Structure 1
């Protein structure tokens, strides 16, 4: 809300914060933003329902129920909460295993069970304060994972764009079957799909605020009114029931089978929601609390499960539309949900006339955006290793499948983390001439001073059993190379020393003493100082071999040299 619009009127504390603080001047922008975002979200939700192997009306339900629930419970003022291409492909993969026949009623019941599980997992995460789990997937790995999802979606939607049919399987199976089916492609269906993609791209380039998906859907419905297109085999969605969502009873017997998929979907829902909400917050605005968002996402999914909605979460692209359209509070989400409800009540017969090729084209255009080539280039320019992790995550999704791809993505992130903490840097330190500035030696600072007989080393990070031996080997290599009388460890960048690492430091001091060398410590944090003090190393070093700064240690060494003790 803007601070220059005067104080907000007082309202009961049980109301959501945005309702208690909203002002009359915010209502107009929120209504316009909600209508604009709804015009974008609804066609995309219909298309994503087909990816999830669900009837298209499930997309309408998802654009309505979770959106409205989140508006009352969620903390992010601009987050548009329905579903995304990533969630849709994950849901589709899970439902394909439990409903291979594709029966619509069975799919809706299984989807309700899956969505209920996802909501329950998110609520449990909020109760256990697991908001930090959103950080388990690193940005480079998430970039690769989303790119892999995009490739899977493109392969999945290509047959609809071509007008061909075959039994679905793994992404690689579907790719081979699509290539083999190219001679049987229907030119009219392909032409309509390509025209739809061109129309969306042109509208978004020339009129970025226009609801391109809605215009594309209207154009597709108008196109199939041409008898020649229908005669050429262009297929439409078919019957779509009009009216509000009816109570959907989850298939509880499927819970035992669906829970692994639900874990992955819950993680992605939360990760995408947090990322989208924080990306489009106002500058200086406090980020939405992670555990509050877990709770809101869980409630939205649980409520949606009983009213036909598929697993839901915040979408980046639709949240961007909401922000650009001028949304100021969750009222915009309520307006988008109301628009979806109006579409359910009034537009069912019209939605049934949508061509499958049009929906496939919408999905393809917006899924291609998941492949962020600029981000891949940026990762490669900075860290080649993390670029490889991104490619591994992408390949995991395409080769192993989407649900297994989540495991690969998390596994790759954890391996990357373990690799980093297992190999922390140890720097040899020098002094900038004429100053009290100490910094790592490097070819760009060849003039920095070193001190014969004195070796200054600076390890970084937490020192524990996983990295202590490797760090010790690095230090020993520097000792052999410089052959110092005194080794100074600058521990200002070490915030903790675990017991195994402490034992190795104690043993290292004994070994150095046996070689006629001394170990000094500098810059101990209060936590590390207390650990050293309670160990046998503390009394052995005494206060005379522990210093506040490198400058003090160098001065002490120089004084000892001057007095002839070194």
Structure 2
């Protein structure tokens, strides 16, 4: 399915809201409403908690669960995706704001947040216009696993002081660990009790009642405890005053653009990566897969519009999307219901939310951020590829030791280095034939009886052959030729989908050197594109069609014919080839 609409397509294809409204079924209304309300019970506490992770007032989390959610419902292509903010985006936002508004007041933070969020939206919209949806694939899965694991460690370490009522000056990772350990004797006992009880409630509900709105129940318990027990008099900090009503318009400050754009680019990348991953993960059979470039546009517009109304950077969240889908969401109407509940909360429940303990919010953040660190994923990577496991560890260490924004750069760099390593060192297999068949497979100790052909060296390179790896392929082939001393080297090119000019030139020169020492080079199984390249080059003229074959069976048959011809010439005293 193509990502972009053609001029002949219906308006519904251009504007997703018209598409899902046009195909809406009455039987979906009740499950969509139930899903939207249930998702709100998860989204709102988490959004407020993540706002505190970013160093922002809790109401910013409410704003982020309102405007971006509505915009996505109108322009997004995933039916169940629930959009607000995430742990990853929150910690990245905290790092970015810390650079331009360290210790800033509410007004300064609001302006910096609006500027950052608008920049994130602009980057996403530009990426959509430039059709850069494929960029999400630039971070490999092992590296993304390591990156999220590092984010989990950073967030948990950031929230632990709030969980135990400890005030400390934050700096590097090791400084924070030392300050936390040495500050434990000064922790607030009452705050620790609130935090631990909240964690127990969340974990128990997630384990025994996984479909329950665990964050909402935990937050309600915290607010009730403050009201009934008077926890502030025991030293338990609470959120405090939250303004009731709609958010005020906040204008960005363009003088901050130069300082914030690198962070905004990284946040935009992670926002899109998480959004497209969540949308794809929960698409059901029969639904269209989320379209990357349209997802870029939807999240970009959501961030740009939300920036003017005080929201922080947003994107699709896995947990809330899972709840939305599991409860029964059929369409984007569920997201509009979630946004409506958010609006009602802003207008009516703000004073009640102000009674929420900081330790309760910290517990919510910790419980759901720990899920970003998945040892099973690391073990699965290690079981398959040790090198990619090391890449995951490098990404994790980069985030923890060098900071989250630098961690993004390290994650991308590690992914690109990993890609470069893979393409620069493609495998070259020596082939033999399974006896009694026409199956050719790499030499293996598991198949010692496979048939080989003395004097004929069958080799299979794999992947694109170009200037980066051509020399390495040559270095692998040369010792094989020297060891076996064949009269014919047949290269099985079925797994080669491209042969670049520099590599073609090196292959031409290698063929000429082999010919001078009496070794013939044959090419087998060329794809139409590669065949066209070879035929139009000097190599094609040097080989001729007699030394290019459709498959290995033809090459072996030709080899046997050549051996018989040589035997006849030797028997008759003729000159050897």
TM over 0.5: yes
**Residue 218 (structure 1) aligns with:** 220
* TM-score, scaled relative to structure 2: 0.95
**Residue 308 (structure 1) aligns with:** 310
Q: Among residues 242, 245, 248, which one is paired with 2:244 in the alignment?
A: 242
Deviation at 1:226, TM superposition (A): 4.0
Q: Among residues 429, 445, 455, which one is paired with 2:431 in the alignment?
A: 429
**Residue 555 (structure 2) aligns with:** 553
Number of paired residues? 557
- Cα RMSD (Å) of the superposition? 1.3
1:468 paired with 2:484, answer: no
1:199 paired with 2:201, answer: yes
Deviation at 1:11, TM superposition (A): 11
Q: Deviations over 1:117-166 (max 9, x none)?
A: 00000000001000000000000000000000000001100110111112
**Residue 390 (structure 1) aligns with:** 392
d(CA) in 1 for partners of 2:348, 2:173: 37
d(CA) in 1 for partners of 2:308, 2:11: 31
Q: Deviations over 1:26-50 (max 9, x none)?
A: 1111000000001000000000000
Q: Deviations over 1:490-538 (max 9, x none)?
A: 1111111111111110110011112111000001111111111111111
Is contact 2:470–2:503 with CA below 8 Å preserved after alignment?
yes
Q: Residues 12, 434 of structure 1: CA spacing in aligned structure 2 closer, same or farther, 3 A cutoff? A: closer
d(CA) in 2 for partners of 1:88, 1:173: 21
Deviation at 1:244, TM superposition (A): 1.2
Is contact 2:165–2:191 with CA below 8 Å preserved after alignment?
yes
Gaps of 5+ in 1: 1-9
**Residue 5 (structure 1) aligns with:** none
Deviation at 1:20, TM superposition (A): 1.3
**Residue 276 (structure 1) aligns with:** 278
Is contact 1:16–1:73 with CA below 8 Å preserved after alignment?
no
**Residue 106 (structure 1) aligns with:** 108
**Residue 72 (structure 1) aligns with:** 74
1:530 paired with 2:516, answer: no
Q: Deviations over 1:210-250 (max 9, x none)?
A: 10000000000111124463222000000000101121111
Q: Deviations over 1:383-439 (max 9, x none)?
A: 010000000000000000000000000000000000000100001111111011111
Is contact 2:120–2:265 with CA below 8 Å preserved after alignment?
yes
d(CA) in 2 for partners of 1:160, 1:299: 34
d(CA) in 2 for partners of 1:561, 1:129: 56
**Residue 363 (structure 1) aligns with:** 365
Is contact 1:53–1:102 with CA below 8 Å preserved after alignment?
no
1:448 paired with 2:455, answer: no
Structure 1 consecutive aligned stretches of length 4 or more whose deviation exceeds 3 Å: 10-15
Residue pairs, 1:118-517, within 5 angstroms: 118-227=120-229, 229-517=231-519
Indicate the SS of the match to 2:479. Answer: helix
Is contact 1:77–1:329 with CA below 8 Å preserved after alignment?
yes
d(CA) in 1 for partners of 2:169, 2:340: 38
**Residue 48 (structure 1) aligns with:** 50
Indicate the SS of the match to 2:329. Answer: coil
Instruction: Tell which deviates more after alignment, 322-331 or 160-169.
Output: 160-169
Is contact 2:232–2:238 with CA below 8 Å preserved after alignment?
no
Deviation at 1:19, TM superposition (A): 1.1
Indicate the SS of the match to 2:522. Answer: strand
Instruction: Tell which deviates more after alignment, 222-231 or 291-300.
Output: 222-231
1:541 paired with 2:536, answer: no
Indicate the SS of the match to 2:489. Answer: strand
**Residue 4 (structure 1) aligns with:** none
Indicate the SS of the match to 2:446. Answer: helix
Is contact 2:11–2:18 with CA below 8 Å preserved after alignment?
no
Indicate the SS of the match to 2:126. Answer: helix
Deviation at 1:102, TM superposition (A): 3.4
Is contact 2:381–2:389 with CA below 8 Å preserved after alignment?
yes
* TM-score, scaled relative to structure 1: 0.97
d(CA) in 1 for partners of 2:259, 2:283: 38
**Residue 521 (structure 1) aligns with:** 523
d(CA) in 2 for partners of 1:440, 1:12: 52
Indicate the SS of the match to 2:212. Answer: coil
d(CA) in 1 for partners of 2:135, 2:296: 10
Indicate the SS of the match to 2:523. Answer: strand
Q: Deviations over 1:17-74 (max 9, x none)?
A: 1111111111111000000001000000000000011110000000111011100010
d(CA) in 2 for partners of 1:149, 1:406: 10
d(CA) in 2 for partners of 1:385, 1:102: 43
1:90 paired with 2:76, answer: no
Deviation at 1:175, TM superposition (A): 2.0
d(CA) in 2 for partners of 1:387, 1:218: 41
Deviation at 1:16, TM superposition (A): 2.4
Gaps of 5+ in 2: 1-9, 568-576
Q: Deviations over 1:252-306 (max 9, x none)?
A: 2211110000000000000000000000000353311110101111011001000
d(CA) in 2 for partners of 1:326, 1:170: 44
d(CA) in 2 for partners of 1:236, 1:267: 34
1:34 paired with 2:36, answer: yes
**Residue 3 (structure 2) aligns with:** none
d(CA) in 1 for partners of 2:457, 2:379: 39
d(CA) in 2 for partners of 1:12, 1:253: 40
d(CA) in 1 for partners of 2:448, 2:189: 68
d(CA) in 2 for partners of 1:122, 1:37: 25
Indicate the SS of the match to 1:224. Answer: helix
